[in-house]
Amino acid sequence: MAVCIAVIAKENYPLYIRSVPTENELKFHYTVHTSLDVVDEKISAMGKALVDQRELYLGLLYPTEDYKVYGYVTNSKVKFVMVVDSSNTALRDNEIRSMFRKLHNSYTDIMCNPFYNPGDRIHSRAFDNTVTSMMMQVC
Amino acid sequence: MEPGSVPGSGSVPGSLLLALSEGEQRRYAELFARCCPPGAAAAAAPEAAAGSVAELLRASQLPPDTLLQITEVCGAKRVGCFGPAQFYIALKLIAAAQSGLPVRIESIKNELPLPRFMAMKNDSEIRYGNPTEPHGVKFQVPHATLEKNSYKRTDEGDKQEPKSPPMSPICSPPASPSSYQRTHLSYGYGKSRNGLEQQHGAPYEVRHSTHQQEGPASGNYGAKSTRACSTLNRSLSVEREAPDSSAHYADDPWRITEEQRDYYVNQFLSLQPDLNAFISGSVAKNFFTKSKLPIPELSHIWELSDVDCDGALTLAEFCAAFHLVVARKNGYQLPETLPETLLPDYLQAASLKPIRDCALFDSYSEPLPGSQQTRDFNRLEKTSAEEVPDNSGVIKDASKDDKQVLKTSIAIKPIPKEFQHTTKIFVCLFLFLLRSYSSTSIEDAMKKGEEPPTPPPRPQKSHSRASSLDLNKIFQQNAQAARSGWLPPPPPALPPRPSVTQTEQASEVELHPQMTRPPSQAEENSSAKKEVVLAQLPSKPVRRKFRMETQALENPELSPTINVTSSLPAVKPHLPVQKQSSKQKRAIQTAIRKNKEANAVLARLNSELQQQLKEVHKERIALETQLEQLRPVTVL
C-alpha cells in the first residue's frame, strides 16, 4: 500500500500527485521531486541500449529511513513514482510491479479519452479510484 | 425481511400507531433489510447498520438539519440504534419532509407518498422515486419531466415484455439487490395499481405504475411523438433543443426511450454511416463539445460511456454518452458509475430485440473484415497522435482482452473491437450463428454464449492439421481402442478375416480397377500377419508402424476397420466397405508420408531454433554482466 503516488510528465512537472492525508504532505512532494533525479539517471544509464530492451519498471529508487521510493517510466517518458512506507514489510517487488501495471493501465485509459489533452492534470475519477485502491488505508 | 414483525406499531414516544399501507410496508421492509447487515435480518433484534442508514438519509437529499431532526424524532438517538420501528418512522419522516411537511410526529399520521432516495452508491444509481399520491410534487425532478412521464408510461408499457427478460440476466451482480428490490416494489404496486402492470410483473414496472396517478392523458403521447420526430430532421446544433423533445424520462432518467434511441441512432448515422462501426474519439469530441458542457464534465461522460476504454464509441456507447449529455443539460448530476440501463450490453440487447435483431447481425458479420481495417487504422492514428507508446498499447490490449473475455462471459457484447485477435473473430462469428439460430430471448442467447462453443467436428482419421505425428498416433490409438471395444473378442473374429479379405480382394479387383496390384498382393501376403497382429493389444500395431513398411502398416489399421465394419452391421454389403477401406488406406498412406516429412522438417527447425535460443541467452548474459559493471552506483 503506497503512501504517495505521483504521475510526472515528460517535462518533469506533476500530472497527478496524491498522498495519504496524514501529516506533512509537502514532504512527500519533495521526496517525489528529488527522486526524479534518480529516475533520470536510471533512464539515461539504460538508454544506451535500444528502447525495446529498456525495462519500464525501474525498481527501488531511493530508500530512506521511513520509506522507500519506487519508480516506473513509460515509453513516452511519463513517470510514475510511488512512495511506500518502510515499516510496511513484505511488500514484494512483484506487488509493486503489479501496482505500477495497474497504474499504467489506468493511465492509458485516460489517454483514450479524447477530452483529455496530454499534459493536462489528471482529473479522471476512474484513475482516482485506482489510486485510492492502492493507497494505504489510514482510518 | 420481516414485514410481519413490525406490525405498524412503533414504539414511538407518544404511543403513536403507525399505519403503514401495504406498499409502504413492503418498501420500508426492503429498505430496512438493505440497511441491515446481512444475516442480522434473521436475528431476533435486527438493527440497521448506522452507515447504511446514514447513506440512505443522505440519499434522500434533504438538508442535513432536517436529517438530524428526523433522527431525533424517530427516536434513534434515544434508543441508540436504528431498530425497525425507528427506521420505519424515519422513512415516514423523510417522506413527510420531502412533501414539505414539518418533521414532527404528527405529520406522519397523514397519508404520505413514499420517500424518495437519490443516487445511492450501493445500487448503481437507480432512482427509487415513486410518489403514489396525486400531489405530484417532485423535488429533485425538473417539472419538465412530469408530463413526459405519462408519455413514457404508455411507451414503456409496450416495451415491458421485451425489455423485462433482458433486464434480469444483464443486471451485473452489484445491481442484483436493486433488481431484487424492484421486483418487490413491483409486487407491492402491481396489486394496488393498474392491471396492466400486473400482467407484466417485470422489474421496471414500478416506474410506470407510479405515474398512473398523474392524470395527464395519453393524448400527450401523440403530441410528443410528432414533436420528437420533427426534431430529428434538424441539424446537429439542435442539441440544445434536444432536451425538450427527447428528455422523456420516467422517474428513472437513465433509461433511454425508444424515441431517444432513434434520435441518438440518427445522430450516430450522421457522424458515421455504418451502424456497426465506431465513432473515433476526435469526431465524438467535436460533436459533444457542441453541447457546450464544460470539458471536465464531457471528460467524465466519456469515461463513463466508453466502457472498453478504446477511445472510440460504438452505437451503444454513443447512445449512453448522448443520454448522459442530455441528462446533464437537464440538470441531473452525473453518476459516479454508469447506470446499468446505459451499459452497452443492455443497450445492445434492448436495441436489437424489438427492431433490428437479425438485420443488425446480418450486417454485423459482413463488415467485420472491412471495419477491422478501418478500426486498426483508427487505432494507429490515435496512437500516433496521442503518443501512446506501443508497449502500453500492447499492455492495454492484453488487459482489454481480459476484460473482453469477462464481458463475453457476462453477456453477448459486440466484439468488433478486438479485431486483432482471430480468436475473437471466431467467437463473435460463432455468436452470430447462435443469434440467428437461437430464440429471441436474450437469456437463452446468453446462456448459449456462456457455454463453450461446440468444438468443430473432429476429423475422423484425417490428418488435416500438419501437426506432429504424435497427435495422430494418440488419436489412432484412441480410435483403435474405441474400435476394439466394439469388436467382439479378437480371437473369434480372426477366422472370418482371411475369407473376408479374399473376397474383398476379389471384389476389389473386379470392381476397383484403380486398386493397384501391389497393395492387394501385399494384403494377401500380410493377411497372415494380420491375424498375428490383431491378436495383440490394439496399441501394438501402432507401435509396429515404425518398423514395418508403410503398406504393411496400413493393414493393422485397416483390419480393425474391416472387422468393425464386418462385425457391426452384418447387413451392410461389403462393397461400400471395401471402397472406403481402400480409399482410406491410400489416404492414410499419403497422409502418413506427408506427416513424416513434416515432422522431420519441424524437428530440424526446432533444433536450429534451440541452438539460436542458447546463443541468444549467452549473449544476453554477457550483456547483463557488462551492464552491471557499467552502471554507476547510485543507490546508497
DSSP B12-36: -TT--B----HHHHHHHHHHHHHHS
Average pLDDT over residues B108-134: 51
Q: What is the ipTM of this complex?
A: 0.83
Q: How many CB pairs under 8 A join A and B?
A: 82
Contact B148, B248 (CB under 8 A): yes
Q: B328-376, pLDDT tens digit by residue?
A: 888 888 888 777 777 777 777 766 554 444 444 444 444 444 444 444 4
pLDDT band of residue B619 (cuts 50, 70, 90) is very high
Residues on chain B bordering chain A, Cβ-to-Cβ distance under 8 angstroms: 280-282, 284-285, 295-296, 298-300, 302-303, 306, 309-311, 336, 382, 386-393, 395-396, 399, 623, 627, 630-632, 634-636
Q: In this complex, which of A75, A111, A113 lies closest to B390 when CB atoms are compared?
A: A75
Q: Which residues of B touch A60 (CB under 8 A)?
A: 635
| pLDDT value of residue B456 | 65
Per-residue exposure over B236-254, b if at least 16 CB sit within 10 Å of its own CB, e if not = eebbeebbebbbbbbbbbb
| pLDDT value of residue A75 | 84
Does the pLDDT of residue B601 top 90, yes or no? yes
The closest of B34, B305, B276, B350 to B287, measured between CA atoms, is B305
Distance of CA B212 to the CA centre of its chain: 34
Place of cell 404508455: B154
| % of chain A at pLDDT higher than 90 | 5
| pLDDT value of residue B332 | 81
The closest of A73, A94, A95, A81 to A1, measured between CA atoms, is A95
Q: Which residues of A touch B295 (CB under 8 A)?
A: 115
| pLDDT value of residue A59 | 83
Q: In this complex, which of B284, B285, B303 lies closest to A124 when CB atoms are compared?
A: B303
SS3 B614: helix
Q: Which residues of A touch B303 (CB under 8 A)?
A: 109, 113, 124-126
Backbone angles phi, psi at A68, to 5 degrees: -125, 150
pLDDT band of residue B318 (cuts 50, 70, 90) is confident
Does the pLDDT of residue A38 top 70, yes or no? yes
Q: Which residues of B touch A113 (CB under 8 A)?
A: 281, 299, 302-303, 306, 311
Does the pLDDT of residue B503 top 90, yes or no? no
Q: Which residues of B touch A49 (CB under 8 A)?
A: 623, 627
Mean pLDDT of chain B: 60
Place of cell 505521483: A6
| pLDDT value of residue B609 | 94
- Lowest-confidence region among B189-198, B292-301, B495-504: B189-198
What distance in Å separates the CA atoms of residue B77 and residue B57, rounded to the nearest whole number? 14
- Contact across the interface for B299 and A116, Cβ inside 8 Å: yes
Residue B397: is it exposed, middle or buried by C-beta count within 10 angstroms (0-12/13-18/19+)? middle
| pLDDT value of residue A85 | 83
Q: Residue B82 has what DSSP assignment?
A: B
Q: DSSP E strands: which ranges in B203-335?
A: 279-280, 312-313
What distance in Å separates the CA atoms of residue B399 and residue A89, rounded to the nearest whole number? 29
Q: Residue B236 has what DSSP assignment?
A: G
CA distance to partner chain B, nearest, from residue A76 (Å): 6
Q: A80-125, pLDDT tens digit by residue?
A: 998 888 776 667 888 888 888 899 999 988 888 888 888 888 888 8
Q: In this complex, which of B389, B396, B632 lies closest to A105 when CB atoms are compared?
A: B396
Q: Residue B122 has what DSSP assignment?
A: T
Q: Residue A114 has what DSSP assignment?
A: T
Average pLDDT over residues B169-187: 43
Q: In this complex, which of A41, A111, A113 lies closest to B634 when CB atoms are compared?
A: A41
| pLDDT value of residue A89 | 64
SS3 B128: coil
Q: Residue B139 has what DSSP assignment?
A: S
- Lowest-confidence region among B20-24, B406-410, B608-612: B406-410
What distance in Å separates the CA atoms of residue A83 and residue A27, rounded to the nearest whole number? 11
pLDDT band of residue B606 (cuts 50, 70, 90) is very high
Q: In this complex, which of B395, B634, B636 lies closest to A104 when CB atoms are compared?
A: B395
| pLDDT value of residue A51 | 53
Contact B283, B271 (CB under 8 A): yes
- Contact across the interface for A105 and B399, Cβ inside 8 Å: yes
CB atoms closer than 10 angstroms to residue A77? 16
What distance in Å separates the CA atoms of residue B180 and residue B606, rounded to the nearest whole number? 58
What distance in Å separates the CA atoms of residue B10 and residue B18, rounded to the nearest whole number? 6
- Contact across the interface for A111 and B386, Cβ inside 8 Å: yes
pLDDT band of residue B433 (cuts 50, 70, 90) is low
State the DSSP H helix or E strand holding residue A72, giving kind and residue range, or none if neither: strand A67-73
